[in-house]
Structure 1
Amino acid sequence: MDTTVADPLVGQVLDGRYRIESRIARGGMATVYVARDIRLDRTVAIKVMHAHLAADDDFVRRFIDEAKAAAALSHPNVVAVYDQRTDGEHVFLVMEYVPGRTLRDLLSERERLGPRAALEIMQPVLAALGAAHRAGLVHRDVKPENVLIAEDGQAKVADFGLARAETASKMTRTGVIIGTVGYLAPEQVLAGRADVRSDVYAAGILLYELLTGELPHRGDTPLAVAYKHVNEVVPPPSAAVPGLPPQVDALVSRATSHDPAQRPQDANAFLAAVAEVANGLPPGIDERLADQLDGHNATSVLPTPAPAPVSDGRTAVYDGAAIPPGATRTMAPGGIPPAGPHTAPPRPRGAGDRVIGALTGRYVLIAIGTIAAVVLGWAVWYQVSGQYEHVPNTIVGMTVSDARSTLQGKGLTVQVGRQKVYSDRVSKGRVARTDPAPGTRLTQGQAVTLYESKGREPKRVPDVVGKSQSEATRTLRDEGFTVGQVRRASSQSVPKDHVVSTSPRAGDMQSPDEPVGLVVSNGMTMPSLVGQNGEDAADQLRGMGLDVKVEKSKDGSRPPNTVLSQNPPAGTAVSRDDRVTLVVNKKDCLFGDFLCDEGPRRGGGDDEQLPIPTVIGRTFGEARQALESSGFRMRVGSRRLGDRVIGQNPLGNAPRGSVVTVWG
């Protein structure tokens, strides 16, 4: 664990949820930490992007898109992606924490692996890559550092899609090939493009490294290594480790072909070949090869010379040990007999001649059989080549037009299914599945039906009405939805900048690939009150939660006790507790105001109906002040779960002095 440098993030809580506990490692693109998910009470791994990458908007956008695609992978050999978040300047990924070590650590400890052990590790790695390839994902950075070995021995592949996000960024680095150059396929070096067959090439390099303990191409600079990938073939592993089976050499050779068309067409095809070779290996091969390499120099594995056999016509005997004819023998360096004549003990000529004759006849028959098998295999291939094709595994995840072109280029007929299907792995508008399935062998002209994705399975839209716009957006994103069009509208009951409604409505089913629209409150709109009864106008404004100030003025042309003017004017957006002023008309009084006839008045008494202020969303103190200033009494309900009012009864109008019950 990397603890050599004090890390300022250790001890912090990201996004109010993930407490950073320690640093695991630091790479070229990110730093990885062990963290605690406070909400779910579990240990996770947090990968925090370096600041120079997090400042690149294009990189962050691509990184988030790739993280979403990687999160859709569900496979026991893939490190699960739980979440992607941004907290200030920190852009980070939340992943499954896999206690253990990397394949690089294992390789450093053991130097190299036997063929059976190497193929056993390759199988879960290729299974993980195969799952990605079926989902239309390309890893682009297959290497021992990205293979984690759990404490129970299970292998898991990490960092799906992250290399793509980096190489696609607008960022440039002069003189540097972005990526792990030791595993780059020739097409990545020459054209900067990669597909599933590029992952197969990198997996072939990984297999070579597991078998030999070193990379096939080495150089003083990354550019020199990249040049070798383009201009030199990968040598057979047996050139570095004599004794490796030829079928293992063939696996590496085919996977690392310069021509992508000559490689296995995806990780699933490579996995099938690896499994077949692994099943055919003789028992104990790893141990025998290890003993051979540990006990002797690699250049001393030679056919056993015949210094002085004593034969019974069936078995040759050397130094008292019986060895079958044609066997090989390991000699220590310097054990090769010097060239030149030597005197051999006499032997019965007839017996030796019979042994040589038997061996010669056997080899002739083997050679004839081999030639016949090659000719027969070539003839069968010649007859059937071009008649069969496979549905490519890369079709799933393509656009329908690209999939159609690919299949028609292989001589297959293409149909598009009438019904679209939901898919949690494939984006809307792309191919979600095919009939027959990818990998199926078809004859030329046979039909393949493509089914287009409708996006992810529908789920219920959460209720965010009454929440602030930022809180509503966060809630929707936590549920997997995105926010679509945001419209603003006036509301007499919902506070300003809070959500009035959603489209679709809360509780409706909708695919997370479809955005959720929001209607956000602009607050209340000042009504037109000029000409109305002054007391009625003041009560209406108090019912809206506004602070009303009434001023008197005189206008002989207007009825007394009517509103002459208002401030702010009608149509103005107002919020609760805003101050509004009403100017109400009065008459000149000959003997003082107490004898003035102010004109028609509103009916009085206990049965007078007044508008009840809406206090939902206010604190209990604010609600009490608004209700009592409007002529009502307030009672708090028995359940009080928060500090703000979430409901009231009654609503509308009620007699002066009525009790209004509120609860929160």
Structure 2
Amino acid sequence: MDATGADPLVGRVLDGRYRIESRVARGGMATVYVARDIRLDRVVAIKIMHAGLAADEDFVARFIGEAKAAAALSHPNVVAVYDQRTDGEHVFLVMEYVAGHTLRDALGSLGRLGPRAALEIMQPVLAALGAAHRAGLVHRDVKPENVLITEDGQVKVADFGLARAETASKMTKTGVIIGTVGYLAPEQVMTGDADVRSDVYAAGVMLFELLTGRLPHRGDTPLAVAFQHVNEKVPAPSSVVPGIPLRVDELVTDATSHDPDRRPRDANQYLAEVAEVFGGLPRDIDRRIEEASRTETSVLETPPMGPPAGGRTAVLDAATLPREYAPAAERTRADRAIGALTGRYVLVALGTVAAIILGWAVWYQTSGQYEHVPRSIVGMKLTDARDRLESSGLKVRTAKAVYDDRVHKGDVVKTDPAAGSRVASGATVTLTPSRGITPRKVPDVSGKSLPEAKQTLEDEGFKVGRTTSTPSQTVERDRVIGTDPDAGERRSPDEPVGIILSTGMSMPGLIGQDGDTAANRLRSMGLNVKVEKKKVDGKPSNSVVEQNPAEGEGVSRGDEVTLVVNKRDCLVDAGPIQWGCDDDGGEQSIPVPDLTGRRVDDAKKALEDSGFRVNVTGFGGDNVRFQSPRDGEAPRGSTVTIVRGP
């Protein structure tokens, strides 16, 4: 860990919530700190973008976008992204803090892993990448440094999506590619393009490194290494470490094909292939390869091998990987020569051979009687987990599903016995599937616009479901009426929440109705009514002959609507005559609309449009708190008093 005494961020509280406690590491793009979320009282990791990159708006935008995509991943083998924040010049991510060490640390101590150990650790790595690939996310930086091993042996993959943000930046950052050039697919070197098959290539390179203790391509400069990725194939691991089975070799060579179409289509297919090969390996193959490398006298037919370039030979026991590491003992050629010259060492060598033969006898008697519950089962789809266990000769029972905030609905939350445990062949393993994320209350988004409602639901962790529309006499057009399920009900965020959007009020059909009655009906709906007069022969006097909008169209309070009313005739005795009356109909009484609660300006206009004079009184507010007369009828042209208030 770096010294933190001189770091000005240590001790500071970012965004009023995250107190920086110590610095963990510094990379080409960001610095990682251990911090405490003082609101939730938990330890977190804070990844703060370097100031030079934070000044690049395009980079920051992509950084934030990829952080959101990474946060959407919910998988037990993925380091969770909790939050993304900005505090002044500091742009940072809040992530799950993983106490433990990296796979790079383990390789540094052990040199290399045996085939079973390597494939067992690759399975949770590929499960994590597979979850990302299903979500449409490309990691772009698969390497041992980004594989974390917790103190209790769980494998987690870090930095999902951040490499994409880095390579998308318009800035030229010297040295960014140096740390990862050893894992770049040929297409990344040639064009800069990458997809899920590029992650598969990097995973194949990492498997080669786990098996041999070194990278397949090495050179004095990053350019030299990149040139080899484009022009040379990744060799079979057995060319470095004799005794590695052909099917393990093929896992590496297929994944690192120069033609992306010849690789597994994504990490999920690669995981299935790795799991199949792993299931067919002898349980003691790692020990056999190790013993063959330690002595020239071997019970194996494969020739002895020495430690590969790049590290000491080391093998992990697959039953305990990755929690317990057992460094391989090394013997030099000089030791073996001395042993051949002295009887003492001859006796030791004979004793070693006898012990190996005895071990083989014990293994022969007990192999097939025991299995191990694979660690990769947790987070796997229930049907796939069942098939995997049953193919290993184990029986499977399914327990009642439980809610889990880290495992998707339908995937395995836990096993009994626990993952990694040794069980008798034919034993029963109980799988507990996830019901999804723990239910929480659906927020109230009524009255919001559709984008606002979606954002609120997403901020609360819910998926947004289907949007439906329906008329409403109380909710304005394009505003949310409610949700499905209703606000306040509890729903797992794994289940989508539908949004019900208002199309506004439905315009009634008024053709043929009395014009005054029709106009007042619309005003009572909060609409502003414009009345036009038009003489239409053959239609009743003062009846509505046209309307706009048409019947059934959506309208909202405050909208202006138009009625075309047939001019009225004044009748005396048998026929129409002009008897000194006009089209207003004299002192006709008309209904007074109740506008209490409406805005004063809107109410004044509605009353005037109805044919009333308006007297506004009161103070201190814009809404109608009292109206006289409030209802009933009053002569056209009479005065209606409205009192304003808050």
Q: TM-score range by the shorter chain?
A: 0.5 to 0.7
Residue 574 of structure 1 corresponds to which residue in structure 2? 555
Q: Secondary structure at the match of 1:367?
A: helix
Q: Secondary structure at the match of 1:451?
A: strand
Q: Report 1 or 2 for greater relative contact order, CA contacts < 8 Å, sequence distance ≥ 6.
A: 2
Residue 504 of structure 1 corresponds to which residue in structure 2? 485
In 2, the alpha carbon distance for the partners of 1:98 and 1:431 equals 21
Give per-residue Cα distances to partners, 1:572-624, cap 9 Å, x unaligned. Answer: 23343334224154113533226996798546xxxx5x243885xxxx68656
| Match of residue 523, structure 1, among 487, 504, 510 | 504
Residue 455 of structure 1 corresponds to which residue in structure 2? 436
* Contact 1:460 1:508 (C-alpha < 8 Å) held by counterparts: yes
In 2, the alpha carbon distance for the partners of 1:659 and 1:265 equals 88
In 1, the alpha carbon distance for the partners of 2:428 and 2:550 equals 71
| Match of residue 321, structure 2, among 270, 279, 300 | 270
Letter in 2 for 1:436: P
In 2, the alpha carbon distance for the partners of 1:164 and 1:264 equals 33
* Residue 613 (structure 2) pairs with residue 612 (structure 1): no
Letter in 2 for 1:566: Q
Residue 551 of structure 1 corresponds to which residue in structure 2? 532
Residue 466 of structure 2 corresponds to which residue in structure 1? 485
Give per-residue Cα distances to partners, 1:316-372, cap 9 Å, x unaligned. Answer: xxxxxxxxxx9xxxxxxxxxxxxxxxxxxxxxxxxxxxxx9xx94643443343233
- Sort the Cα spacing of 1:523 and 1:202 in 2 relative to 1 into closer, same or farther, 3 A: farther
Q: Which 5+ residue runs of structure 1 have no aligned equivalent?
A: 1-23, 35-39, 86-92, 120-125, 149-154, 167-178, 186-190, 237-245, 257-261, 282-298, 306-325, 327-355
| Match of residue 387, structure 1, among 354, 369, 376 | 369
In 1, the alpha carbon distance for the partners of 2:354 and 2:430 equals 42
In 1, the alpha carbon distance for the partners of 2:344 and 2:219 equals 38
Deviation at 1:503, TM superposition (A): 0.6
Residue 401 of structure 2 corresponds to which residue in structure 1? 420
Letter in 2 for 1:233: V
- Sort the Cα spacing of 1:461 and 1:593 in 2 relative to 1 into closer, same or farther, 3 A: same
In 2, the alpha carbon distance for the partners of 1:470 and 1:433 equals 38
Between the aligned residues of both structures, percent identity stands at: 37
Letter in 2 for 1:459: R
| Match of residue 210, structure 2, among 204, 211, 230 | 204
* Contact 2:506 2:553 (C-alpha < 8 Å) held by counterparts: yes
Give per-residue Cα distances to partners, 1:214-240, cap 9 Å, x unaligned. Answer: 99x97951156543245622599xxxx
In 2, the alpha carbon distance for the partners of 1:414 and 1:659 equals 77
- Sort the Cα spacing of 1:192 and 1:481 in 2 relative to 1 into closer, same or farther, 3 A: same
| Match of residue 655, structure 1, among 631, 634, 637 | 631
| Match of residue 593, structure 1, among 570, 581, 584 | 581
In 1, the alpha carbon distance for the partners of 2:229 and 2:456 equals 46
In 2, the alpha carbon distance for the partners of 1:235 and 1:590 equals 117
Letter in 2 for 1:478: D
Residue 387 of structure 2 corresponds to which residue in structure 1? 405
In 2, the alpha carbon distance for the partners of 1:516 and 1:455 equals 14
Deviation at 1:441, TM superposition (A): 1.2
- Sort the Cα spacing of 1:493 and 1:128 in 2 relative to 1 into closer, same or farther, 3 A: farther
Residue 240 of structure 2 corresponds to which residue in structure 1? 233
In 2, the alpha carbon distance for the partners of 1:523 and 1:566 equals 17
User: Mapping of 1:130-169 within 5 angstroms?
Assistant: 141-143=141-143, 146=146, 158-160=158-160
* Contact 1:502 1:518 (C-alpha < 8 Å) held by counterparts: yes
Residue 95 of structure 1 corresponds to which residue in structure 2? 93
In 2, the alpha carbon distance for the partners of 1:162 and 1:596 equals 74
Give per-residue Cα distances to partners, 1:395-419, cap 9 Å, x unaligned. Answer: 22222222222111100112223x2
* Residue 565 (structure 2) pairs with residue 583 (structure 1): yes
- Largest Rg, 1 or 2: 1
Give per-residue Cα distances to partners, 1:424-445, cap 9 Å, x unaligned. Answer: 2222222232222211211111
Deviation at 1:184, TM superposition (A): 8.9
> Structure 1-normalised TM-score?
0.54
Q: Secondary structure at the match of 1:566?
A: strand
| Match of residue 372, structure 1, among 351, 354, 362 | 354
* Contact 2:438 2:493 (C-alpha < 8 Å) held by counterparts: yes
Q: Secondary structure at the match of 2:487?
A: coil
Deviation at 1:146, TM superposition (A): 4.2
Give per-residue Cα distances to partners, 1:42-69, cap 9 Å, x unaligned. Answer: 97449999999x99xxxx99x7997246
Letter in 2 for 1:494: V
In 1, the alpha carbon distance for the partners of 2:565 and 2:494 equals 54
Q: Secondary structure at the match of 1:272?
A: coil
- Sort the Cα spacing of 1:591 and 1:468 in 2 relative to 1 into closer, same or farther, 3 A: same
| Match of residue 414, structure 2, among 415, 430, 433 | 433
* Contact 1:391 1:440 (C-alpha < 8 Å) held by counterparts: yes
In 2, the alpha carbon distance for the partners of 1:157 and 1:502 equals 36
Deviation at 1:448, TM superposition (A): 1.6
- Sort the Cα spacing of 1:425 and 1:569 in 2 relative to 1 into closer, same or farther, 3 A: same
Across the aligned residues of Structure 1 and Structure 2, the Cα RMSD in angstroms comes to 6.2
* Contact 1:488 1:519 (C-alpha < 8 Å) held by counterparts: yes
User: Mapping of 1:150-299 within 5 angstroms?
Assistant: 158-160=158-160, 182=182, 201=207, 204=210, 208=214, 221-223=228-230, 226-229=233-236, 232-234=239-241, 269-274=320-325, 276-277=326-327
* Contact 1:523 1:574 (C-alpha < 8 Å) held by counterparts: yes
Greater shift, 127-136 or 444-453, is seen at 127-136
Give per-residue Cα distances to partners, 1:534-583, cap 9 Å, x unaligned. Answer: 33322332233433222334568666544344333322233433342241
Aligned residues: 471
* Residue 495 (structure 2) pairs with residue 494 (structure 1): no
Letter in 1 for 2:83: Y
- Sort the Cα spacing of 1:457 and 1:372 in 2 relative to 1 into closer, same or farther, 3 A: same
* Contact 1:561 1:601 (C-alpha < 8 Å) held by counterparts: no
Deviation at 1:634, TM superposition (A): 9.1
* Contact 1:74 1:80 (C-alpha < 8 Å) held by counterparts: no
Q: Secondary structure at the match of 1:425?
A: coil
In 1, the alpha carbon distance for the partners of 2:429 and 2:618 equals 70
Q: Secondary structure at the match of 2:159?
A: coil
Residue 67 of structure 1 corresponds to which residue in structure 2? 70
Q: Secondary structure at the match of 1:404?
A: helix
- Sort the Cα spacing of 1:165 and 1:452 in 2 relative to 1 into closer, same or farther, 3 A: farther
